[in-house]
Structure 1
Amino acid sequence: MSKAAASSLSRLTRPSSLALALTNARSPLLRFVSKRSISTHQPWRPSSALEEHVAREARPISLRQLTFFGRNLTLERLLDSANYVRTELPTRLAHRIRDMQRLPYVVVTNPNISKVYETYYDSFEQLRKSPEIKTSEENDKFCQLIKGMLNNNLSVIPDLAIGVLECRDFVPAAELDNFLKTMLKSRISRRTIAEQHVALTETFNSPFFYPHSEGNGVDHTNGVDFVGEVFLKCNAREVVEKCGKLCQDLSRQANGPDSPVPEIIIEGHPEATFPYIPSHLEYIIGELLRNSIQATIERHGSDPKTKLPPINVLICQTQQFVIFRISDQGGGIPQDIFPHIWSFSKGPRRQKQLQNISLVPTMSATLQELFHTSTGEGVGKDGKRRRGTSLAPLSHRPPNLRLGLGLPLSRVYAEYWAGSLKLHSLASYGVDTILQINKLGNNLERLVERKNLDGI
């Protein structure tokens, strides 16, 4: 190893000034850390393999690239996709491992953060040791490895959220928020390319799929509207109606089958269609409608005879964007909470968040996880991919459990494909939330926060 690399590793493994200050046994901070934060194993692992992957740059993709590649699916392309995933996932994991190594010692030794670190490192080691994939059978085995990793990583979101909340007193909240946003965007990116490849493999292995040689002008999607996980004809009205019905059902599940729920009125350009990954959009719309329904019921009462004011969803489209504006009359957001709605670590309800998140050991961050049953995965009897997510049956949470993650995580999802999410609260009246989606699919994924571009 070169002297420069050795020096870099020395800096990474050297305890920060904060950690050195903790050596005073009389420090109340030390007592806190010793009771709740010190892991039983050493999370620092100097590794030349890690250094090699950190030195590489991630290769971002766009929805258009995913679609173009999958529409012309052949065995050769499927194997190219497998080897892209095989080399790209460990690179992206290596950068996030390095981000965690740069954290103050008191943060990285938090048991929840340390658990994520170990999970990522184990996944990194398995992926970097995977040999080149040359046959369909080798690809099938690789997909099983990917599925296992996706399942094992379902605890990452609650673990990170709890760890960040527990360490809020030791590190500025803005730094923790940037760290968590980068970790979550990277998580979305890895799951996107991994699930896309698994979905392409399922399509290729389907008895209804007939691959052709490249260059013959044949549409290899066989008329199916899905290309892997990308839905080519995502319809704005259908998304709102589906999410709205599910959220209304959730409300009745939580408050009683006869409890009133607000009507959802759709206006504007509801027939707008665009390519998108449904699970991403459904999570955002579902969280926004869920918040509006809950706020409306809480403000106007749950008397079965009460006529609740409706929730209005205005859909607009331009050449480049589809815009959703969700307006409710739920009384607005309390002034003590509003400044912190986009933060994962700030706000007056930290202790309640910790209690609630601890009740959710796994999170797939999909709309389907709110239910005990799932639409399932894979290819249906008609040869068409179902619109569920492969992670839906693996995690769920109670419908009335507030985690404080919905809005900030929804913004992370929106910004991942170069969209945006904004919120305007009208005190004592209601909330307007504006979601902007890029409908062309030509923007590269945003892997990190702008302040952390050196960590791509």
Structure 2
Amino acid sequence: MRITRVICQKVATYVERYSKYNPSPLSMQTLLDFGSKTGTEESSFEFLRDELLVRLANIMKEFNLLPVSFQQRGSVAMVRNWYQQSFIEITEFEKHNPDRDILEKFTETLNKIRLRHSKVVETMAKGVMEMRDAFEGESRNYDQQITYFLDRFYTNRIGIRVLLNQHLLLYGGELAHHPQHIGCINPSCDVEEVIRDAYDNARFLCEHYYMCSPDLIIESYNPYEKADSIRIEYVPSHLYHMLFELSKNAMRAVVERHENKPEIPPIKIAVCKGKEDLAIKVEQLFGYMFTTAPQPQPSHMMEGSAPLAGYGYGLPLSRLYARYFQGDLVLYSMEGYGMDAIIYLKVKDAMECLPIYNKTASKMYETDTSAPDWSSPSPWTQARGYSTIGGGNVSRGYSTLTDGQGARRTLRHN
């Protein structure tokens, strides 16, 4: 018991130390240049052994600010233990020089960490369900705090996973899915190809659940380039995740709305690439755990398949994937007609958008509701994340993010 207590105190000391540093956000161009021109396995090791500790420590500090009742949920405690274990494993490399044995051990450790964290989203979602079931009918309102934390926690996870994948794909002996990839990034990602891939897989699920599915129509606009296809520098798996979730939602909405009609109208997706941004518009619901579909049961699922709907995490996570590289995913509703979803992505100069642990962030966990800062609630204020009368369940998770400027080695001044 005494040994365990000493280990926990040592970890807490390390976490406190590394949480005082800001994460170092990387640009898409930096990642591409490092992977194709300037980077080495040794320099990647030297950067990651510090940067991963900083990113882990920043989000581990925010775990302590969550309501105790949420921290004590079995699934949440499990995720917290995974992060602590990963943090401990990386600290073992803190004072080592990158010789061949150390580099191989480091790669093995990163692979183990990636595997350990592969079920984080589902496990944390289970923890949220456990808490809501436990306090159902009570007056406690933790939604705003937990939504704020989940936005930051999952964004932090995306950033850590990108760093892990980059190192393992470049130096860990893994093969990229495409010969053009530089790590997990495709410098010439074919947007229409990803759209069709996401649509085909969503269509497979739709036909399994509904025995039918809508067709797809893609309209492309590329006024500034003379090219047959629209291509951007991006992480294809991130774009696929967004498009797969939007395709699932669109298919379900279209099929259920037209199930008693002789024909099902197609899904229309428009792609437009400008000088600064790429927009993808899908005919088309946000908040964690919000879903119009019943929660799927394992017995009703095909082996190895994902449910068409029911967990309520698809769209919120898709929005975080879009925002991670300074894009966004927004919804526009037209009463009596339907809803459109638009993905905005930066065409150039995209940089990681990462949560930072500081006093501003910690204040978001101090109260259950926000004081009103508008005279009356409106769709305009709510859509932009401003608080409303009574606070409600409006998430303001991104209002406190900074641009992450400042070197990682520079201590934060709160």
Normalising by structure 1, report the TM-score: 0.68
The reply to whether residue 426 of structure 1 matches residue 305 of structure 2 is no
Equivalent of 1:183, from 153, 157, 166? 153
> Matched residues in 2 for 1:275 and 1:437: separation?
10
Q: Is the 8 A contact 2:286 2:316 kept in 1?
A: yes
Deviation of 1:268 after TM superposition, in Å, equals 2.6
> Matched residues in 1 for 2:50 and 2:97: separation?
11
Normalising by structure 2, report the TM-score: 0.75
Larger mean CA deviation between 47-56 and 181-190 belongs to 47-56
The code of the aligned residue for 1:141 comes to K
Equivalent of 2:311, from 403, 407, 430? 403
Equivalent of 1:229, from 166, 184, 194? 184
The reply to whether residue 99 of structure 1 matches residue 55 of structure 2 is no
Q: Is the 8 A contact 1:327 1:431 kept in 2?
A: yes
Equivalent of 1:143, from 92, 107, 111? 107
The code of the aligned residue for 1:315 comes to V
The code of the aligned residue for 1:415 comes to R
> Matched residues in 2 for 1:172 and 1:434: separation?
29
Query: Closer, same or farther in 2 for the Cα pair 1:138/1:247, shift >3 Å?
Result: same
The code of the aligned residue for 1:253 comes to H
Deviation of 1:428 after TM superposition, in Å, equals 4.1
Q: Is the 8 A contact 1:323 1:435 kept in 2?
A: yes
The reply to whether residue 196 of structure 1 matches residue 166 of structure 2 is yes
- Report the equivalent of 1:66: 31
> Matched residues in 2 for 1:145 and 1:196: separation?
14
- Report the equivalent of 2:372: none
Deviation of 1:429 after TM superposition, in Å, equals 3.0
The reply to whether residue 158 of structure 1 matches residue 144 of structure 2 is no
Deviations 1:157-188 (A, max 9, x none): 12222223433544431111001110000000
Matches within 5 A, 1:27-426: 45-46=8-9, 47-72=12-37, 77-131=40-94, 132-168=96-132, 169=135, 170-202=140-172, 224-255=179-210, 259-269=211-221, 271-301=229-259, 306-328=262-284, 341-345=285-289, 347=290, 353=295, 356=296, 396-426=304-334
The code of the aligned residue for 1:186 comes to N
Structure 1 spans left out of the alignment, 5+ residues: 1-40, 209-222, 329-340, 361-369, 373-395
Query: Closer, same or farther in 2 for the Cα pair 1:321/1:349, shift >3 Å?
Result: closer
> Matched residues in 1 for 2:317 and 2:204: separation?
22
Q: Is the 8 A contact 1:416 1:445 kept in 2?
A: yes
**How many equivalent pairs are there?**
343
For the residue of structure 2 that corresponds to 1:167, the secondary structure is helix
- Report the equivalent of 2:408: none
Query: Closer, same or farther in 2 for the Cα pair 1:62/1:239, shift >3 Å?
Result: same
> Matched residues in 2 for 1:428 and 1:446: separation?
38
Query: Closer, same or farther in 2 for the Cα pair 1:262/1:348, shift >3 Å?
Result: closer
Q: Is the 8 A contact 1:79 1:136 kept in 2?
A: no
> Matched residues in 2 for 1:404 and 1:68: separation?
37
> Matched residues in 1 for 2:291 and 2:99: separation?
55
Deviations 1:121-152 (A, max 9, x none): 11111111125352344323212211111111
> Matched residues in 2 for 1:238 and 1:96: separation?
35
For the residue of structure 2 that corresponds to 1:195, the secondary structure is helix
For the residue of structure 1 that corresponds to 2:352, the secondary structure is coil
The code of the aligned residue for 1:127 comes to I
Query: Closer, same or farther in 2 for the Cα pair 1:99/1:230, shift >3 Å?
Result: same
Equivalent of 2:347, from 417, 427, 439? 439
The code of the aligned residue for 1:450 comes to Y
Structure 2 spans left out of the alignment, 5+ residues: 223-228, 357-396, 405-414
Q: Is the 8 A contact 1:415 1:446 kept in 2?
A: no
> Matched residues in 1 for 2:117 and 2:287: separation?
23
Query: Closer, same or farther in 2 for the Cα pair 1:153/1:302, shift >3 Å?
Result: farther
Query: Closer, same or farther in 2 for the Cα pair 1:371/1:147, shift >3 Å?
Result: farther
Q: Is the 8 A contact 1:418 1:438 kept in 2?
A: yes
- Report the equivalent of 1:389: none
Deviation of 1:70 after TM superposition, in Å, equals 0.7
> Matched residues in 2 for 1:417 and 1:433: separation?
18
Deviations 1:88-124 (A, max 9, x none): 1122111111101112222211112111111111111
In percent, how many aligned pairs have the same letter? 24
Q: Is the 8 A contact 2:291 2:309 kept in 1?
A: no
The code of the aligned residue for 2:50 comes to T
For the residue of structure 2 that corresponds to 1:130, the secondary structure is coil
- Aligned-residue Cα RMSD (Å) equals 3.1
> Matched residues in 1 for 2:71 and 2:108: separation?
30
